Structures are given as C-alpha cells and as structure tokens.
Amino acid sequence: MTPDRRLKIAPSILAADFARLGEQVREAEEAGADLIHVDVMDGHFVPNLTMGPVVVEAVRASTRLPINAHLMMYEPERLIPDFVKAGASQVIVHVETCPHLHRTAQQVRELGARAGVALNPSTPLSLVEDALAYVDIVLVMTVNPGFAGQAFIPEMLPKVARARRMIDQAGRAVELEVDGGVNVATAPQVVAAGAEVLVAGSAVFNRKETVKAAMQRLRESLSRAEGQARGTR
C-alpha cells in the first residue's frame, strides 16, 4: 500500500441484528466506519436470498455514510435504478452476471453513483482488465459469496496482489476492495497485498463485543499493518 491510499472499513449489514438495524448502522458510523456495505443476493446467482432497495432506503435514513450496494444477482441492470434511488452511493455488480459490463457500469454512473465490478474466487482478473476505464471499484471476493461468517480463502492473497498491480499499471483511480472473511487476523494480510477497502461483517457485528469495540480492534490491526508497511519501505 502506498502512503497516499487511505484504508477504509465497510461494515456489512449481512451480519447485523436486523431487529435493530438502524441502531447498528448508527453504531458503526459512530465507531468510525467509512461506508456501509449491503449484500444483495437473489437466491440464484448465490445460494441465499437477502435484501432489496427497501433495506437500502432504511439504511440511508440511518446514516450519512456512503452506501455500497453489492448486487450478487442476475440481470442487475433491472434493479440498479431502484437501488440508486433508494440511496446507494456505489453499486457493485458481478462480472459473471454482466455480459455487457461497460453498458452496466455506464448505467450506474449516469444515475449518479460510483460503479464497481466484483469477481468470485475462481474468476480470473483478466475478465475485468479491459473495464478498468469504466469502473471506480474492483472487488475481489475472498470467500465464495452467499453467506456471512465464512472463513477467508488464503489462496486469494496473490490474486489481490495481482489486482493491485493491474490497477496501478493501468494508471486508473480505481479502489481495490476485498470482501469475505476479513477480521483482525486477515485484515493486515489483505492490506499488505494491496487492498484499500475492507468489507467486514461478523468481525464488526457479533454478539461477543460491541460494534465500537470490534471496530477499534479492526482499526488497530490496520494501524499495525500500515506501520509494518512503512517500516519495510
């Protein structure tokens, strides 16, 4: 990670207590979250069915932070306008579901949101290389999407590093985001590999500690990682 990149934490509400969702989102904001991540699953592209624009609207009413809508669904272009209207600041689609990625990214941008593209663990980076001019975010999945609380796939670290090099060599202002199994142990590893936006679900929202305490531990792990990176330069 270079000195001018600021690490960001994006708590994923997939792991939140939905009985008090607004409260948990506010707790995350007060604890220093940079954005709120909303995992949208259609039950077809991934084996789970989660939330839609109405949840984004509820989150929007609870926070001033940017909302990162991660659309794990087929034909996302049908619902992108609804998510942006509901308050999504960023819309991330999967390259596996978008045969016309340029057109979909253009749609997101024309609606006034930042466009992102995500890749599943087994999807090669080459599929997004030619789209870097049209997106603002590349999201590397470090678990197979579908459920919260999965274990980080360590074999994805070289892929994150390759994505970092690909973005830097292209000279594009594209953020590199990582989603899946991020916690105090794995966060420093993905930062060392070049990630700058970290999606964290159960590492932030869990029954063992408060959101504030969880966020503090995660931030401390990132601070140590930044210090170690500076020490090796």
Q: Which amino acids are annotated catalytic? A: 39, 179
Distances (CA, A) of 124 to 92, 118, 119, 165: 17, 11, 8, 14
Distances (CA, A) of 69 to 26, 44, 126, 156, 187: 17, 18, 23, 22, 21
**Residue 16, both tokens:** 């939140």
Q: Beta 90-94 vs 114-119: how paired, if at all?
A: parallel
Containing H/E element for 231? helix 211-232
Amino acid code (one letter) for 64: R
